[in-house]
Amino acid sequence: MSIPIGSLMFSVFNPDCASQFVSPAGVVLTPPASNPTHCPYGGPEEGLLALDDGTIGITNFQNYREGTFDDQLTPLGTNAAADLYSIASNYTDAFYGVSNLGTFGVTPIKVQKFSRTCVFGTSWSLGITRDANTYALGVAPDESVAYYAGHGSHTVTRRDLVGASSSSFATEASLTISRDNSIVVLRNSEVLIGWRGGSPVVKHYSAAGAVLHTYTLPGSPECVTPGLDDTSFWVSYWTSVVEFQRIRISDGAVLDTFAGGDGSTGYQWDAPFGVVRVEMEPAPGTVGVAPCSQCCDDKEILLTYGFDDGAPLSDYFVETAVGGRTEIAHWLDSDVDECLNPRLAFAIGLIQEGVI
């Protein structure tokens, strides 16, 4: 009943503006007991990533400050010294964001490093003054190079953090950088960039800027985030709904995919997300329970699905129509009746069977 390694943690614009957790197949999972409200001002934070040890970093968390959390989402620290956008990490012990609050054409833009406990460390100038609302950012794990682009830019710039010099890294004449989370630097220093426009793609580059692979998408990418290792990455993109794919880097094979809705409920269409890197425990006593406002309005509750041993799902769930909505008596230790979303019901059945 845990939140397994490889699940996804989303920033979502929902009634309580807390994180949402889903499996790689899109099954909604119960969040941990600690799930702080992220965005009381009415929108998702700008960046969300986890380090290999499970520490979670969030930029623009709760009204222009940063936050870090342990592997169970217990707060470790916050910092309001700078409003950081985007997020990158070195995968081991540090996060990075772009500080860009200020006057257009006047305020210098910099990369700001912060620790597991949200203590600010080294900062590096990008050699520019503010010329965009937000910036996408990637940082090499050895802190030698940063890659950045303003929202809507056709060019990603390479900034030498040691020599303090800049050069063009990648340019697309007919495509532009999306929002804050379009650049990923892998552990091996190769780079992924999401480009939006008429023929949206994610491109895989060597550290020298050579295109290694191009992955065509059904819609414009909103967020690109690293997988558990350098073999795959996740991307969200917009068609008529927000959709998600995990793509194998070596050949472009789609390993996992699911749709997340039209953005009016659940997933915010442009919200950042990251991969869960340490198993998380859900809040006790709430596994799979959804508010009755989320219940289905008909009687089709996936009763035809079976398990490896051939037992139908109906062995685990009894469906009865009550008051115009469906309620499900589900098999838990408490043996209580709850009103559930059908996808959650199916997930609980798989959990009880030991499939997930």
Residue 210 has pLDDT above 90, yes or no: yes
The token duo for 335 is: 């043996």
Pairing relation of β-strands 155-160 and 145-150?
Answer: antiparallel
Per-residue model confidence as pLDDT tens digits over 18-47? 778 888 988 888 888 887 766 544 455 578
For the segment 189-215, the average pLDDT, to the nearest whole number, is 96
More confidently predicted of 144 and 286: 144
Instruction: Give me the pLDDT at residue 28, please.
Output: 81
Name which residue leads in pLDDT, 32 or 249: 249
Give the 3-state DSSP-derived string for the chain, with helices as H, strands as E and coil as C. CCECCCCEEEECCCCCCCEEEECCCCCEECCCCCCCCCCCCCCCCCEEEECCCCCEEEECCCCCCEEEECCCCCEEEEECCCCEEEEEECCCCEEEEEECCCCCCCCEEEEEEEECCCCEEEEEEEEEECCCCCEEEEECCCCCEEEEEECCCCEEEEEECCCCEEEEEEECCCEEECCCECEEECCCCCEEEEEEECCCEEEEECCCCCEEEEEECCCEEEEEEECCCCCEEEEEEECCCEEEEEEECCCCCEEEEEECCCCCCCCCCCCCEEECCCCECCCCCCCCCCCHHHCCCCCCCCCCCECCCCCEHHHCEEEEEECCEEEEEECCCCCCEECCCHHHHHHHHHHHHCCC
Question: Residue range 194-220: average pLDDT?
Answer: 96
Percent of the chain with pLDDT over 90: 48
Comparing 304 with 82, the larger pLDDT belongs to 82
Single-letter amino acid, residue 73: L
More confident residue, 208 or 105: 208
pLDDT value of position 194: 96
- In this prediction, residue 13 has a pLDDT band, given cuts at 50, 70 and 90, of low
Residue 296's pLDDT is 36
117 or 340, which is more confident? 117
| pLDDT tens profile 225-236 | 999 999 999 999
**Which pLDDT does position 12 carry in this prediction?**
61
Over residues 222-251, mean pLDDT: 93
Output the pLDDT for position 268. Answer: 63
**Per-residue model confidence as pLDDT tens digits over 290-343:** 333 333 333 333 333 333 333 344 443 433 333 333 333 333 333 333 344 444
Residue 19: how many CB atoms within 10 A of its CB?
Answer: 27
The answer to whether residues 206 and 212 touch, using CB atoms and an 8 Å cutoff, is yes
- Nearest 5°: phi and psi at 347? -60, -45
pLDDT at 259: 85
State the pLDDT at residue 218.
Answer: 93
pLDDT of residue 168: 98
Sorting pLDDT into bands at 50, 70 and 90, what band is 14?
low
pLDDT at position 267: 63
**Beta-carbon count within 10 A of 281 CB:** 13
Beta strand pairing status for 84-89 and 337-338? unpaired
Output the pTM of the full model.
Answer: 0.78
Q: How far apart are CA 238 and CA 218, in angstroms?
A: 8
The percentage of residues in the chain with a pLDDT greater than 70, rounded to a whole number, is: 71
Q: What rounded mean pLDDT belongs to the chain?
A: 78
Predicted pLDDT at 175:
96
What per-residue confidence (pLDDT) applies to 170? Answer: 98
Q: For residue 261, what pLDDT is reported?
A: 66
Tell me the pLDDT band of 178, cut-offs 50, 70 and 90. Answer: confident
Which range of 58-72, 170-184, 292-306 scores highest in mean pLDDT? It is 170-184
> What is the arithmetic mean of pLDDT over 180-207?
95
